[in-house]
Each structure stands twice: as structure tokens, then as C-alpha cells.
Amino acid sequence: MEVLVSKDEMTSIERMKAFEKGEELDRVPCSPIMGETCGPLFGIYPREHNHSAELMAKVEIEVYKAFKCDGAGIGTGLRGVAEAMGTELVYPADRVSYVKEPLLKCYDDLGKIKPADPHKDGRLPLILKALRMIDEEIGHEVGVSTDIAGPISVAAAIRGTENLMKDFKRCPEKAHELLQLVTESNLRFIDAACEMGYGVGFSDPVASSSMISVKQFREFAKPYLKQCIDRVAKWRGAGALLHICGKSKGIWNDMVELGISTLSIDNVESLEEARDMVGDRVCLVGNVKPVETIKMGSKEEIYEECRRCIEIGRENPLGYVLSTGCQIPLETPRENIQAMVEAARIYGKNYRKPRI
């Protein structure tokens, strides 16, 4: 049976302003995690995308025009700040970048590594330029923002993830020195982006409970994330979005204590449990499977999973934004992304946060 898909009645900016006020929307906000992996849909592949502000901006503008999602922008990626501090990355033509080898092989060399200057180092200047270009083209319709890797994830790209995990036990004081150094780089990028008028969100996969213990999160991740999130709040007067991949239920309360406004939930966790545990303190985002459902699923399967998330999210006291639990992978069919946005229009029609 053909499902009737209604047209949007609000621009994204109108929708998100109404969302913040608790007013009724034409539909639930929808903002799947995309970025460079969607470039091939428009003939732009990761290597060229990553080295051109014009192409970064073009992908975001085309993605917005194609799908009318509720958010646009360019982030540093998980390795952008580490690269700006000296880590060498490999850029395959048609795959995402990866670290060639750890920059910091011995802590005796830590003093040689300096905080990144977002206006001079690595690709950070390109990212800031792309943000401005996106804003000038579509900023009158959709909010433009950026995101950055959390300090522990940046440190992993400098030291090597396995090495950093060992450092937590063998030389924790050295790990703290590295973490404070990368936090300074993050703070400088945050200042630059916020000064331009853009919000900043955070992704911190190495802080996941799939990677480190709750105790290690509280010692090595939380204090440095706190500095970053506080800096955003100082500029913006509000909290930020935080996404931690994989298992995170054991640290949800810790994440909320950081002062975030929005918690992004990986698809391996329960959106219903997140709603019941922390939904009275933060907006929830995500939980749709990016690979099994959005890349590999049928239109009906995409509709059904999005419907499930929307129904759970409707009851979240501080609201819900339909999104994927992690980045949509390369080679995801265009029509599957379109189906996700259609699901927001069908099952999220006349959305409103619960009255509390």
C-alpha cells in the first residue's frame, strides 16, 4: 500500500526554533549523521572532499537540498585535530582517512607537540572556511554547526589507541599531560568556531564503555570533555550535543553531568532506557541502525525502525531528533536516506515535546 508523504510546512530553522520553545512542529526533526561519506552521491569522494573547502561546502549544500535535513555543517572528524597537531593521515581516494602511524612514540617527545592553531594548522582552516561558505548559501534555511572529536579520541590518534590504553595503567600522569595538551587544541578550535557564530558538538568514540571502563572514563575522559563543553556553554549560553559510539549506558548520567543539552544514542543501546534514565534532563538523538537498516535495509524496514524510534522519542520529556546511531556509511543508496526523511514526515507529523 502506498504511504502518503506530506510536504514540509516549515523551514528547518523555523522547525528547530519551535522545537526549542516546545511548540508543535510540522514533523519531528531529522538529522542523520552524514558528511564525507555522502559525497559520492554527488560525485565527490573522500580524498578530494577532505582537501577542498569548496567541495566540503558543496557536499553539505547538496545534501541539504536533496534531503532537507535539520542541520548542516562540517566537523573536524575524529582525526582532524590530531592531524593539525602533527599526526600524519593517509587519504585513500574512496575511503575515509586513517592514521599512518602514531605521532607520539615516546613521552620524551611530548614537549615537541604544540596545540593546534585553527587558523593555520592542518585542515582546520579549510573547515572554518567551508562553514562560512555553507552558512552563506543555506544558513537562512537551516542551522549550521560544527563538531569535534573529544580529547581522549584526539589523544588516541596522536599516541595510538592501544598505547594510550596501556598508558592509563602504566603512566597515567603522562596520559593526563597529553590529554590536557589536546584539550587546549580543542578549546582553540571551539573559540574559533563560536566566534564565527557556530555551535560545536562532540563525538568521542574512544570514551565508549566498549573501549574503557567507567572508572577510566571518569578519570581520563570526563574532566577534559567538561572543559570543552563548558567552553561551548560560555560562548553559546547553552549546552552541546555529545555522541559516544558503542556502549554508553553506564556513563549516561556522567555524560549528562557534563552539562550537555543533547545526548546522541548509538544503535547498540536502548532508546527507551535512555528516555527513562535521562530523558528528563536532555534531548535525545539517534538510535537508528546506520548499516543494517539505512544502508542495507528495504524501504519498509527503514520506515519501521524510524517509526519505532519516533514513537519512543515522542515520550521523551526534553524531545527527540530522528537520527542514526552513528555515521551513515559509504555506498548507502540515496533512496534509503530519502526513506529515513520520509519516515520523519509520515510518523513524526505534528510532533511536539511532551508537556512537563
Q: Mind listing the pLDDT tens digit for each residue in 209-254?
A: 999 999 999 999 999 999 999 999 999 998 899 999 999 999 999 9
> Does residue 64 register a pLDDT over 60?
yes
Could you tell me if residue 218 is inside a domain? no
- CB 34 within 8 Å of CB 330: no
- CB 10 within 8 Å of CB 21: no
Q: Which residues face 146 on adjacent strands?
A: 200
Could you tell me if residue 307 is inside a domain? yes
Query: 97 in the Ramachandran plot: left (φ > 0), alpha (ψ -120 to 50) or beta?
Result: beta
Please report the DSSP string for 25-71 in residue order: -SS--B----GGGGGGGGT--HHHHHT-HHHHHHHHHHHHHHH--S-
The CATH number of residue 13's host domain is 3.20.20.210
> Nearest CA to 264 among 282, 243, 290?
243
Could you tell me if residue 8 is inside a domain? yes
> Does residue 23 register a pLDDT over 60?
yes
> Does residue 2 register a pLDDT over 70?
no
Could you tell me if residue 235 is inside a domain? no
Could you tell me if residue 10 is inside a domain? yes
Could you tell me if residue 350 is inside a domain? yes
Could you tell me if residue 141 is inside a domain? no
pLDDT at 1: 46
Task: Identify which has the larger pLDDT, 18 or 356.
Answer: 18
What confidence tens digit (pLDDT) does each residue in 314-345 have? 999 999 999 999 999 999 999 999 999 999 99
Domain carrying residue 337: 1-30+263-356
> Does residue 310 register a pLDDT over 60?
yes
> Nearest CA to 139 among 77, 201, 196?
196
Cα-flanking dihedrals φ and ψ of residue 45, to 5°? -100, 160
Number of domains in the chain: 1
Structure pTM?
A: 0.95
Q: What's the order of all strands across the beta sheet hosting 241-243?
A: 72-73, 144-149, 199-203, 241-243, 262-265, 283-286, 320-321
Average pLDDT of the chain to the nearest whole number:
95
Could you tell me if residue 64 is inside a domain? no
Alpha carbon distance 354, 88 (integer Å): 48
Q: Which residues contact 12 (CB under 8 A, 6 or more apart)?
A: 29, 68, 69, 70, 71, 141, 142, 143
Q: Strand (E) positions, 50-205?
A: 72-73, 89-90, 98-99, 144-149, 199-203
The burial class, CB within 10 Å (0-12 / 13-18 / 19+), for 330 is: middle
